[in-house]
Every structure is written in C-alpha cells, then in structure tokens.
Structure 1
Amino acid sequence: MSKKIIIYDDDMDLLEVCALILTAKNFEVVIRDKCTEIIDDIATHKPDVILMDNWIPDIGGVKATRLVKNSAEFSHIPVIFFTANNNVTELAAEAGADYSLQKPFDISELETIVTEAVNKKA
C-alpha cells in the first residue's frame, strides 16, 4: 500500500511539481494551498508524512505544525518544515517539526527526506 503525504504550500506551481515528483515515487499525495482545516484534513486523509511551508496562508506553518504536534492523535506524524527563509532549522525547531528542508531544494533532497520520514514512522 502506498504511503500518503499532505503538502501545505501557498505556491500552486510548487505543490504540483512536488506532487508529480512524489507520485512518481509511488506516494499518494494530497495538496493544500492553505491550512485552515489542517486537523480535519489530517483526520480525513491520515497522512504518513506532512510537508509544511512556513508562509502558508491563514495561520502560518509554525502554528499549523504546533497544532499537529500538540494533538495527541496526530503528534506521531512526521512533519517536514520547508521554507526559503535562511533560518529554516530554527523555524522547524520552534514549530516542533521533525525535519527541515531549505527551499529551493533539488528533487533528490525532497525524495530522500520524505522517504526517511516515512520509514521512521513505519
């Protein structure tokens, strides 16, 4: 059975590229350009990994990640925090994310970190 990933980013082009890359690696991908309903989304889709942008509309990536990590039901889901900010490591730590990925990233970096996160959860 394929592993499921939800990607939150306000850049539709980036969402579509990431979805193509990860779908080609046999992941099931759900994309969202805002995180208004993040807890409902996660409850519905039950992802194995979440990719979270820092600048996601509504509440932002740090708060959205904290919502997930403070939820008893979903705190076990690995979150990969990604942003073009040069302090991505600090932001990821502040959010409580499990991984960080600096934008722009190359395809192999994305594949590697997602695979690592999925395997860690398994």
Structure 2
Amino acid sequence: MAKRIYVLEDDKEISEIVQMVLEMEGYQVSCFADVSRFNAGKAGGVPDLYLLDIMLPDGNGLEVRAALTNDPITAHIPVLIMSAHTNVAEVSNWPGEKHFIAKPFDIYKLTEKIAMLLKG
C-alpha cells in the first residue's frame, strides 16, 4: 500500500508540482490550501507524513505542527516544514524534532528527505 502524505500549501503551483512529483514517486497525496481545509481533511484518516508550509492565509504551519505533535494520535507521524521565510538557525529554536526544507527547494532533495523520514 502506498504511503500517504498530507500537504498543507497555499501556493497552488507549488502544491500541484509537489503533488505530481510525490505521486510519481508512488505516494498517495492529499493537498490542502489552508488550515481550515486541512483540519477538515484530517477526518479522512491519518497519513504517514505531513508536509506543511509555515505562512498560510488562515493560520501558521508551526501552530499546526504543534497541534499534531501534541495529539497522541498524530504525535508519532513525521512533520516536514517548508518555508521561504524561515532559515535553519530559526528552526533550531523550535521545540521537539526538527525537519525543515527551505523554499525554493530542489525537488530531488525534497523526495530524498521524505523517503528518509518515512523509513523512520
């Protein structure tokens, strides 16, 4: 069975490219353009990985990450944060396990990072 990834990204072009590439890699991908749709979509099940943008029209990916890591149902699922507005130095201040990729990113580095996180 294909690994399932939930993508929270408000930029339609980035979302479409990420979805296309990840599906070509064999993943099942669900994309959400904002936090409210993401929260509604979570009822569809628990994925194997979350890929979250930080700056969103109705919220913040770091707050979503905190909610996921504090929920016993999703706490064990890897979360990869992507952003054009955050750097590695800022990431070191985040609590808990940190997985980050800066935008713009090389699509091969993204797929490598996702594969590594899914191997556990």
Paired residues, what number? 120
Partner of 2:101: 101
Equivalence for 1:112: 112
Post-superposition Cα deviations, 1:21-79, rounded to whole Å, max 9, x if no partner, equal 00000000000000125455334231100000011222211111101011111111100
Match of 1:81?
A: 81
Maintained 8 Å contact 1:6/1:47 = yes
Equivalent-residue separation in structure 2 for 1:51 and 1:98 (angstroms):
12
Q: Which moved more, 1:106-115 or 1:94-103?
A: 94-103
Gaps of 5+ in 1: none
Query: CA contact under 8 A between 2:91 and 2:98: conserved in structure 1?
Result: no
Q: Which amino acid aligns with 1:62?
A: L
| Identical residues among aligned pairs (%) | 27
Structure 2: gaps (5+ residues): none
Runs of 4 or more consecutive aligned structure 1 residues displaced over 3 Å after TM superposition = 37-40, 95-98
Equivalent pair of 1:81/1:88 in contact (CA under 8 Å): no
The one-letter code matched in structure 2 to 1:105 is F
> Does the CA contact (< 8 Å) of 1:63 and 1:95 recur in 2?
no
CA distance 1:110–1:28, change in 2 (3 Å): same
